[in-house]
Structure 1
Amino acid sequence: MAGDDIVMIHGQRLALHGVDLPSADAVCTTSGGRKWPCGRHVREELARAAALDEVVCRPAERETAICRIGGIDIGALLVKEGLARASGDYQALEDRARAAKVGIWE
């Protein structure tokens, strides 16, 4: 990983389309007061997923890319699991994650 919204996948620096990632050193606090390293967690999950299957990226708008691992849209998955905020196309997924209180919305 590199930078706050830039991910390093197989040596390529990419900004994921439609997501706003927590900074690498971000610490999130649950509604119960528990602190957890959400920024590090997101990056570890991405690295694990990228090691499991081929990452395929295609350019999107404004120097971003839509990337898929095993056919699954990484940005959509991160927002759905509450590990990133939506910055566009994935707003409905963020709304559901917030309502379910998952990830950074816990």
Structure 2
Amino acid sequence: MARASDGDSLRLGDERVRILDIDAPELAQNCTETNGRVWSCGKAARDRMAALLASGIVDCRPEGKDQYGRLLARCVVGGRDIGATMVSEGLAVSYGGYAREEAAARKARLGIWGGDFDAPKAWRDDHPRPQGIMNWLSGFGV
């Protein structure tokens, strides 16, 4: 059974998997709509990932591991590419593989593109997690 960890990673059984070529807002990250309303874009991305994973059988094709030991993979569920779906719905940015989907989401002002947000990497750089907590959390698949 697959479980969403956040908007760009999941667990398949005991295996931690990071979706290739996307970066979703962090769980604690907020975004701002053009009208000034703040929304929890990180939680929205995680919730959408959870809904996708619950919609069918998840099939992941590993392409290596990242620095945290997670599998880097392209995953599909019900014939839908999870990375493409997250980017096309404006809940993740493309890291090269989904430029067309990102351009369409930007043009339609979907999700994070409907207002102001910090790119997930920039947000992480501005909100570093203490290393001790990261080591402790890694035991839980975070």
Within a 5 Å distance, the mapping from 1:29-44 to structure 2 comes to 29-44=32-47
Aligned to 1:22: 25
Whole-angstrom distance in 2 between the partners of 1:11 and 1:41: 24
**Is 1:99 the equivalent of 2:110?**
no
Aligned to 2:96: 88
Aligned to 2:51: 48
Whole-angstrom distance in 2 between the partners of 1:15 and 1:89: 14
When residues 41 and 3 of structure 1 are mapped into structure 2, their CA distance, relative to the original with a 3 A threshold, is: closer
When residues 74 and 50 of structure 1 are mapped into structure 2, their CA distance, relative to the original with a 3 A threshold, is: same
Pairwise CA RMSD:
1.8
Residue of 49, 65, 83 corresponding to 1:75: 83
When residues 32 and 82 of structure 1 are mapped into structure 2, their CA distance, relative to the original with a 3 A threshold, is: same
Unaligned runs of 5+ in 2: 67-71, 115-142
Aligned to 2:74: 66
Identity %: 38
Aligned-pair CA distance for 1:8: 2.4
TM-score, with length taken from structure 2: 0.67
For the pair shown, which has the larger CA radius of gyration, 1 or 2?
Answer: 2
